[in-house]
Each structure stands twice: as structure tokens, then as C-alpha cells.
Amino acid sequence: MFFIRRIQILSIAFLVGGRPPPSFTSNPPPPISTSSPTTQLIAVAPNSLFLENIAVRSSGELLLTSVMSPTLLTLNPKTINGTFDAVHTFPNSTGITGITEYQPGVFALVASMLNTTTRRATPGSVVIWKVDFNSATPNVSALGGLPALSGANGLTSLPDLPDILLAADSAEGTVWQLDACSGTARLALSDLSMQPGVPAPGLGINGLHVKGSYLHFTNSVAGTLSRVKLSVSQNGFVVAAGAVEMLAKLQPAGQAPDDFALDGQGRAWVTVHPGAVSLLASGSEGSANASWSQAIVAGNAQGNDTGLIQPTSAAFGRGDSVEAQMLYVTTSAGQVVKVDTRG
Ligand SMILES: *[C@@H]1O[C@H](CO)[C@@H](O)[C@H](O)[C@H]1NC(C)=O
Ligand SMILES: *[C@@H]1O[C@H](CO)[C@@H](O)[C@H](O)[C@H]1NC(C)=O
Ligand SMILES: *[C@@H]1O[C@H](CO)[C@@H](O)[C@H](O)[C@H]1NC(C)=O
Ligand SMILES: *[C@@H]1O[C@H](CO)[C@@H](O)[C@H](O)[C@H]1NC(C)=O
Ligand SMILES: *[C@@H]1O[C@H](CO)[C@@H](O)[C@H](O)[C@H]1NC(C)=O
Ligand SMILES: *[C@@H]1O[C@H](CO)[C@@H](O)[C@H](O)[C@H]1NC(C)=O
């Protein structure tokens, strides 16, 4: 989820002048039918505040978190250079990572005391909070703590069982489950494919989102997008119902995927450090095993596009059918960039 330093990119050979063409993996790349979408910088947070994660309210307003601030922010994306307004400041925390809407109008987020150098949370400081917009002023309360988490990162819920929240631990390579009703936490998933593989400040599992019965997740250090089928036992425990399948490894090597958004076709729009948004898609429904194609649709692999500096998260707009095809991307330089995915 968050990267403070630039990642050195080793392979730039395939990019020649001007706007890079879509870059495909060499093996086996079913082409994606998309032209380069237009991108628009719609706002920059004051002091280029590091933006970490994004969620979109049904009103279309963006909710934005920062690893550098305990304050949840909101921005109206229809106003160019709109203001970043404070929604709530969370106690006993220095930063916020993942945010997700788990019931209509009700969002959960992960707040903690974060060391942005080690990218680790102070033990015992990770708390999941609820922000309910269904009342005149947002109603905020703590849902529960995740005391074992040291690398708090992405957060999501299960579409069919929305009170089950899943939180990624980038340091331990695990996914924790928190019951939004009882506040009970338990370790749900732990897999090699989620691990950072190197000591701090490496980040393993980062963004995570459920589509159907599959949990999709990125691993930043490994440069991969993977998925694993989930099932929920009778006592409400989330477990893996199969082996983790690696869908794609980002090319060129050296890029690090952060959070992503899944669209209606099951494609993943992945923010990639140092400076790209890549569209990852399966050639045929259900295909896996590193067979997903990839194309850079915004920024570039070497990260010198100043309009997209270390993108961290992406979410589709809400409102009308046009807005639903606008992808809002946050960056660690405080940028909010709109990508028109109609191509
Ligand atoms: C980005 O880097 C590439 C390769 O070094 C170069 O060709 C291109 O002109 C650079 N673009 C910008 C905007 O600096
Ligand atoms: C938004 O702010 C930027 C930076 O201050 C400025 O360059 C740009 O012209 C502004 N855009 C509008 C539409 O006001
Ligand atoms: C903040 O942390 C302190 C010390 O652990 C604790 O006493 C206090 O209740 C916490 N405040 C909130 C609002 O959780
Ligand atoms: C973050 O961790 C580093 C390395 O352990 C340490 O030197 C630094 O003081 C820590 N920063 C804070 C704000 O605790
Ligand atoms: C706010 O949330 C608390 C805790 O969930 C609940 O008891 C209270 O009724 C809520 N208030 C409003 C105005 O919805
Ligand atoms: C994945 O690909 C490798 C190499 O092509 C192949 O040997 C292996 O059987 C494949 N695994 C699955 C589950 O399809």
C-alpha cells in the first residue's frame, strides 16, 4: 500500500518515445481491446499529502485516507481543484490505510500508529473503525482491534456476508477477519504468496478485493496479482477453498502493484509503482496460472509521468453510467487523477 522510496526500474527497453504503447506480457498475451484512456488531474491534496486509499460514496463523493494523517478526507470529484474536507480524525493513530463500504452508506477503515519508514504499525495500535453516513453527521465508532497486525494495509468485505471484514497484513503475509458485529478477530488466511519475502520495509499482500467467491490480492514485493477461492464455515470462519492461483506477474519486472479496482467484467485496474495504472484481464473466463494479459493504461513503467507519481489506489466513480466508468486514482504525491476507462 505505501512506498516512500522510488523503486528502481531495470527494464525500459520496450518504451520508445512519446506515450508508451500498451505493454503486454510476452507469454501468452490475449490482447485487451482498449485504447489509451484520457487522464485528468482533478486535485492535489494540500502539502501533497500522501494519499493511501480511496472509497466512493453513493453520492459520488470520494473518501480518501493517508498514511501520514489520522483524518479521513472527502473530495467532490466533479469540482476541479475542490477542497479536501475533514470527515473525522481518529484517536490514537497517525495514519489510515484501507477503507471499504461494507453496508450501504457504512464504511470501515483501518487506523493505526504507523511508522512510515519501516511501514509497520505499533503493536496493538491497529483498530478498525466504522463511519456511518446514514445519519445527519457521520456516526463514528470502533468495531474492534486487530492487535496482531503489524503491517496494516488493505481492507475489504464479503459481498454476501458484508459484516465479515478482511484486512491484509503486508508484513506477515496474512489476512485477518474481523466480525463487524461482535468485533471478534481471527487469522483467516496465511500463504507464501502473501509474504513480503524480505525484511521490513518490504510489503507483501497489499490491496485485496472479493469478486464472486474469489479473493483477489496484490503482492507488492512479488509484483503479482493472485486469487484464492474462499468459503465460509458454519461458524462464520473464512477459509481458503483451494490453492492460491497467480494470475499475472507485472512486466517489466521491478514494478510493484499496490491497490486495485475490479470492474464488472472481472478485470483488475491495478495501481503500480513507480508510476502506472495497468489493466489486467483473463483471456478466457476462469483462466489463471499467470495467463492474464496486462496493458499500461495510464502513466508509464519508468515512473517519470509527473501526472501520476506513485499511484496507490483506485476506485470507480458512482452516480450515473458515465461516472461509473471513471476510475479515480490516488497517488503518494497527493494527486487525485481521473482515468476515463471508456477508452
Ligand atoms: C521518461 O523516460 C523515458 C525513458 O528514459 C524517456 O524516453 C521519456 O522522454 C521520459 N518522459 C518524460 C515525461 O520525462
Ligand atoms: C487547479 O490548480 C492547479 C494548481 O494550482 C492550477 O494549475 C490549475 O489551473 C487549476 N485548475 C483550475 C481549473 O482551476
Ligand atoms: C487511546 O489510548 C490510550 C492509551 O492506550 C487509552 O487509554 C485510550 O482509551 C485510547 N483512546 C481511545 C479513544 O481509544
Ligand atoms: C521508525 O522506525 C525507525 C527504524 O526502527 C526508527 O529509527 C524511527 O525512530 C521510527 N520512527 C518513529 C516516528 O517512531
Ligand atoms: C451511532 O452509532 C452507535 C454505535 O453503533 C449507535 O448506538 C447510535 O445509535 C448511532 N447513532 C445514530 C444517530 O445513528
Ligand atoms: C501452470 O503453468 C505451468 C507452466 O506452463 C504448467 O506446468 C502447470 O501445469 C500450470 N498449472 C496449472 C494449474 O494449470
Task: Report residue 200 as a C-alpha cell.
Answer: 521490513
Task: Report residue 148 as a C-alpha cell.
Answer: 496482531
Q: What 8-state DSSP symbol labels residue 46?
A: G
Question: Which residues does ligand 1 sit against, CB inside 6 Å?
Answer: 12, 17, 302, 304
pLDDT at position 37 is 81
pLDDT reading at 316 higher than 50: yes
pLDDT at position 201 is 79
The mean of the pLDDT values for the chain is 89
Share of the chain above pLDDT 90, in %: 83
Going from the Cα of 92 to the center of ligand 3, the distance in angstroms, rounded, reads 6
CB 209 within 8 A of CB 196: no
Strand 174-179 with 164-169, pairing: antiparallel
Q: Is the CB of 89 under 6 A from ligand 3?
A: no
Residue 138: what are its φ and ψ, rounded to 5°?
A: -50, 130
> Relative to the alpha carbon of 308, which ligand is closest?
1
pLDDT at position 287 is 55
CB 335 within 8 A of CB 306: no
Q: What 8-state DSSP symbol labels residue 243?
A: -
pLDDT at position 332 is 98
Contacts 24+ apart (CB under 8 A), 25-32: 25/248, 25/249, 25/251, 25/293, 25/294, 26/251, 28/283, 28/291, 29/293, 29/294, 30/281, 30/283, 30/284, 30/293, 31/293, 31/295, 32/267, 32/279, 32/281, 32/293, 32/295
Strand, coil or helix: 138: coil
Q: What is the pLDDT of residues 32-47, one digit of tens each?
A: 445 578 999 999 999 9
pLDDT at position 186 is 97
CB 302 within 8 A of CB 310: no
Q: Is the CB of 8 under 6 A from ligand 2?
A: no
Confidence (pTM)? 0.88
Strand 152-157 with 62-66, pairing: unpaired
Q: What is the pLDDT of residues 233-256, one digit of tens each?
A: 999 999 999 999 999 999 999 999
**Which residue lies with its CA nearest to atom 8 of ligand 3?**
92
Give 197's pLDDT tier (boundaries 50, 70, 90).
Answer: confident
Burial class (CB in 10 A: 0-12, 13-18, 19+), 162: middle
Lateral strand order in the sheet of 174-179: 152-157, 164-169, 174-179, 185-190
Going from the Cα of 189 to the center of ligand 1, the distance in angstroms, rounded, reads 41
Give 13's pLDDT tier (boundaries 50, 70, 90).
Answer: very low
Q: What is the best residue among 76, 79, 80, 81 to mutate for testing ligand 2's pocket, by most ligand atoms within 8 Å of CB?
A: 81
Q: Is the CB of 141 under 6 A from ligand 3?
A: no
pLDDT at position 301 is 96
